[in-house]
A and B are shown apart, each in its own frame.
Chain A
Amino acid sequence: MNDDDAVFKALADPTRRFLLDLLFERDGRTLTELESELEMTRFGVMKHLRVLEEAGLVVTQRSGREKLHYLNPVPIQLIHDRWIDKFRERHVSALTELKAKLEES
């Protein structure tokens, strides 16, 4: 649940990225609204939404009789933070080494 594999797998599909783009433009849409933007059966759209939900990229909330879909950017933020931090660490350690080398000579 919500691990990196699920996020990357969910993002690997163009239809699912399109669904996320739709929610980015306007958040909190119903299945019917999302479906109207796609040349796809209701069942197909539901299947894609389920993959996005399992990856944590979409969160649903009930509002009366309607189920609203919201784009959740936190899983992408987590991947971003972790990777950027990794690169930054390497960057810093490279500079530290350079400094040590320069001071040696």
Chain B
Amino acid sequence: MTAKTETTQVYRVYIKASPEAIWDAITKPEWTERYGYTGLVDFDLRPGGAYKVRPTEAFKKESEANFGGELPEVIIDGEVVEADPPRKLVHTFRMLMDPGMAAEPYTRLTYEIKELDDKVCSLTLTHELEGAPNLASLVRGDQEEYGAGGGHAWVLSELKTLLETGKVFAE
């Protein structure tokens, strides 16, 4: 058992949607602003390409009202490692909203989309979080009671609901 496997988190969700629809929902800002943390993603989908997430105006206002201070223009940054649409996406990830997390090393996210029977896909998200205990706690949903959202499980649950019903609970 290495330290690496212990700091990895794995999530899987089954979604009644095409692999292309799921891919778009992960990589296009018009989709990502509709579920989970509602960040506007900006992917340069090639190895070495930039990955940035910017806050929506609504998110900015809410965050500034709840936590004070001004949000940076880019709240998450990273780099694309592998992009194989609509099957596999690997990119690095660093959260910049919180100084403690911004000081942690880049972590690594892998999305894998597999088409199963009956127009159902499995989406598996692996987050390698070596050396990033603060981010690990956030994405596990440990800080939900402090208004930090429910982490990956919550985001994926909302993503499934959005793709299958066309809306999320909050809408």
Seen from chain A, the residues whose Cβ lies within 8 Å of a Cβ on chain B are 1-2, 26-30, 33, 56, 59, 61, 63, 68, 70, 72-74, 76-78, 81, 85
Contact = CB atoms under 8 A, between A and B. Distances in A.
A78 B165 CA distance: 14
Nearest to B2: A63
Nearest to B125: A74
Majority secondary structure of chain A interface residues (helix, strand, loop or mixed): mixed
Interface of B: 1, 5-6, 8-14, 120, 124, 126, 141, 150, 153-154, 156-158, 160-161, 169
Majority secondary structure of chain B interface residues (helix, strand, loop or mixed): mixed
Contacts, number: 57
B169 A28 contact: no
Nearest to B170: A85
Contacts of B11: 59, 72-74
Given A30-B1, A78-B157, A81-B157, A72 B169 contact: no
